[in-house]
Structure 1
Amino acid sequence: MILRSNPVAPDPRVEKEARALVEAGYKVKVVAWDRKGELPRLEETPHGTVERLPIKGNFGSGLANLLPLARFNLALLWYLLKRRSTYDAIHACDFDTVLPALLAGKLLRKQVIYDVFDFYADMLRATPGWLKAIIRKIDLKVMGWVDGVILADEARVDQIRGASPKYLAFIYNSPAIDGPLPLPPEPPPLRIAYVGLLQVERGILQVVELLRQRPEWHLDLAGFGGDEELIKREIAGLPNVRYHGRVPYGKAIELMAEAHVLFATYDPSIPNHRYSSANKLFEAMAIGRPIVVARGTGMDRLVERYGLGFVVEYGRLDELERAFNRVASWNQEERRNFAHKARGIYEAEFSWEKMKRELLDLYQKLD
């Protein structure tokens, strides 16, 4: 049982891990939270059966979402208890699913894997500091009580200092992309893409403001999240910004491959962003596109070490514009050379095949 507090429609990391387990011979069910109650309750997919619990709730609303989250956790616990004979292991994604997983695991003697996509206390946006401190203490304790912990990057060990996991694995947010390298489109115009969580702390509004000033550039924007309506209002009337809403993962990769440059300029003042290991960084590598990231986030060291794009100060439109201008100035040979270099780094260091072996090794240790 893989537990996730979003509808998994899509969720690239959940889908990749679930598919890897299916391919290794495990029977997998994903239990997800459909906060709007608009998606199919049951769905058969290549990564197993997805069952969505339709419990009303919102993204990014802090204490206002506490009661829906409690309902979701109780529903998860009841689900796990009622179906006790149908599974051997629980794979809990993030803190907002791990407590029912741990309780069911202890009561029923099931193995529990805790997959920390983001350290929960550091990602809460509208939650009082005292509550974050309590969550942090509980979270670190839980990491020592489960059977194994997965982190998205070795750098995050510092973020969970004080925890004592029995087993610890590192699985990067690498995409499962192994097809031919998509060659960059011919400019102009410069095409920029962002597909992901729609939150203002991810630098989206700064890029939108830049697009107001540079009408000859084009932005493809897709995803969902707590600031979706705000962002939609900001882009209304901009002819050079195209909003795609929630898209399946294949379409997400297609939108990024049709761009010349991606961005993931997260606000480094948010603790969780200082350890970020975003899907977009590894997707950019796999499809051979440069990426612009903010200094002081978990991605800047990899971008600088391997020459994967550009690092800018968060909120500095002049630096952002300079980075995009650099990409716009490349000729097609330079674009192709960069694409082949980035794809080579992905395949040598960060491919999903390598990450998949880490996941299966962890499960085999616990068998």
Structure 2
Amino acid sequence: MSRHVLILVENLPVPFDRRVWQESRALVDAGYTVTVICPMGTHAEEAEATLEGVHVLRYPLRPAQGGPLGFVREYAAAMFHTARLALRVHRAHPVDVVQACNPPDLLFLVALMLRPRGVRFIFDHHDLVPELFLSRFAGGGRALYWVTRVLERLTFLCADGVIATNESYRAVATGRGRVDPGKVVVVRSGPDLSRFEQQPPDPRLRRGKRHLAAYLGVMGPQDGVDYALRALHVLKRDLGREDLHCVFMGAGDMQHRMIALSQDLGLEDMVEFTGRVPDEFVQRCLSTADVCLSPDPKNPLNDVSTMNKVLEYMAMGRPVVSFDLAEARVSAADAAVYAPANDEAEFAVRIDELLRDEELRNAMGRRGRQRIESHLSWDNSRKALIDFYDRFFEPPV
């Protein structure tokens, strides 16, 4: 076999989906041929490109708007383009393995389309989609939950192997997914330490304030940016903090609403939304930040999901403020302080406590960086991924 891996991802374009990009580059470095099919996103990237040895095909896709029906339209368009491009790829250069990265839990259909041609299927389990819809659509999420449970079960049933992002997701695969534990590997979304190097602080980012807080990540309904903004409002109104500026880096379908919320809360002089920014700015901002925010509220999805931003804050040696989530504690341990679940006032108190104690901030930052270097970096995850693929391609005995 040519060891040609076709990776399907719908949630984000590549290379902006960092996990998929890291996996793709790792496979190429290990001698695999890698093609990725993904959406163009909002920046009108090229329809076809080869980046660092990874062949990327992109299709136009309008993100979901207007509730559940918006997702039906989005996923229908994505499935059409993904299937069309997958057939094109297979005709030009036969595929050995399809690796489908959810959401949605529909991409197994493309793998099934190619299975009669000898193609095997690996499910890269990024999100618990049933819990995602339950968390995202209050009230109306229950029906979607059971529909997506069926699709998730079919995905697990069709998979020849499963890549889980953490032990909680592995338990889902072997539990309700009924996957043989020998077919499941944990590949954490660890930060690439070559991309997270401490830079000299840039005082200009504080906008004349004494302290800087930072947020890095997606801004969707389940990401908690609204919790962070309301906590900053408490910090300013009730705790008298006028010496803090906060930079929110990233984009998402809630970004405009979050900007409007910050204005409604009277935080225009305290917060700044940059949109998506280059790595250089991320490194410079995190190197300057006194505290970093992970305001994901506790819900069925977030409690068992690994937050990439937490690991990236730790890689930059920054202390983290988080709500008390199970997987947040697994990742950060004592490199973070934890507010009771979804309590914005206590989240504000935790920020205030860290800003008052520079020695504690520095100690937490060092502990976080050590945790990343010792066992949570992408170097460790890369080895697990390549070992899994090498075993997958071993000839049958």
TM-score using structure 2 length: 0.83
**Residue by residue, what CA displacement relative to the aligned partner does 1:150-194 show, whole Å, maximum 9, x if unpaired?**
111102234342213351011112111147852784896221111
Paired with 2:53 and 2:360, the residues of 1 have a C-alpha distance of 38
CA shift, 1:41, in A, is: 1.9
CA shift, 1:84, in A, is: 1.1
**Is the contact made by 2:229 and 2:262 (CA closer than 8 Å) also made in structure 1?**
yes
**Is the contact made by 1:59 and 1:225 (CA closer than 8 Å) also made in structure 2?**
no
Which of residues 99, 102, 106 in structure 2 aligns to 1:91?
Answer: 99
Q: Does 2:45 align with 1:29?
A: no
CA shift, 1:74, in A, is: 2.0
Letter in 1 for 2:381: M
Paired with 1:43 and 1:216, the residues of 2 have a C-alpha distance of 46
Q: Does 2:57 align with 1:44?
A: no
CA shift, 1:320, in A, is: 1.4
Which sections of structure 1, spanning at least 5 residues, go unmatched?
none
**Is the contact made by 2:61 and 2:78 (CA closer than 8 Å) also made in structure 1?**
yes
CA shift, 1:351, in A, is: 1.8
Q: Does 2:91 align with 1:100?
A: no
> What is the match of residue 216 of structure 2?
195
1:252-271 → structure 2 map (5 Å cutoff): 252-268=282-298, 270-271=299-300
Would the alpha carbon gap of residues 43 and 81 (structure 1) be closer, same or farther in structure 2, given more than 3 Å must change?
closer
Q: Which moved more, 1:9-18 or 1:78-87?
A: 78-87
CA shift, 1:329, in A, is: 1.9
> What is the match of residue 322 of structure 2?
293
Which sections of structure 2, spanning at least 5 residues, go unmatched?
1-5
Identical pairs, percent: 22
Q: Which moved more, 1:113-122 or 1:96-105?
A: 96-105
CA shift, 1:364, in A, is: 0.7
Letter in 1 for 2:57: E
Query: How many residues are treated as equivalent by the alignment?
Result: 363
Paired with 1:257 and 1:179, the residues of 2 have a C-alpha distance of 13
CA shift, 1:307, in A, is: 0.6
Q: Does 2:360 align with 1:354?
A: no
Paired with 1:184 and 1:265, the residues of 2 have a C-alpha distance of 26
Paired with 1:95 and 1:134, the residues of 2 have a C-alpha distance of 14
**Is the contact made by 2:190 and 2:311 (CA closer than 8 Å) also made in structure 1?**
yes
Q: Which moved more, 1:12-21 or 1:35-44?
A: 35-44
CA RMSD in angstroms comes to 2.5
> What is the match of residue 141 of structure 1?
154
Letter in 2 for 1:168: V
Q: Which moved more, 1:33-42 or 1:209-218?
A: 33-42
1:218-297 → structure 2 map (5 Å cutoff): 218-236=245-263, 238-268=268-298, 270-297=299-326
**Is the contact made by 1:257 and 1:287 (CA closer than 8 Å) also made in structure 2?**
yes
> What is the match of residue 3 of structure 2?
none
**Residue by residue, what CA displacement relative to the aligned partner does 1:241-279 show, whole Å, maximum 9, x if unpaired?**
1111122445434432331211212221x3111211010
Q: Does 2:340 align with 1:313?
A: yes
**Residue by residue, what CA displacement relative to the aligned partner does 1:302-348 show, whole Å, maximum 9, x if unpaired?**
43xx31111112332331122112221233x5544433322112111
Which of residues 32, 54, 62 in structure 2 aligns to 1:56?
Answer: 62
CA shift, 1:284, in A, is: 1.9
Would the alpha carbon gap of residues 66 and 195 (structure 1) be closer, same or farther in structure 2, given more than 3 Å must change?
same
Which of residues 178, 191, 198 in structure 2 aligns to 1:164?
Answer: 178
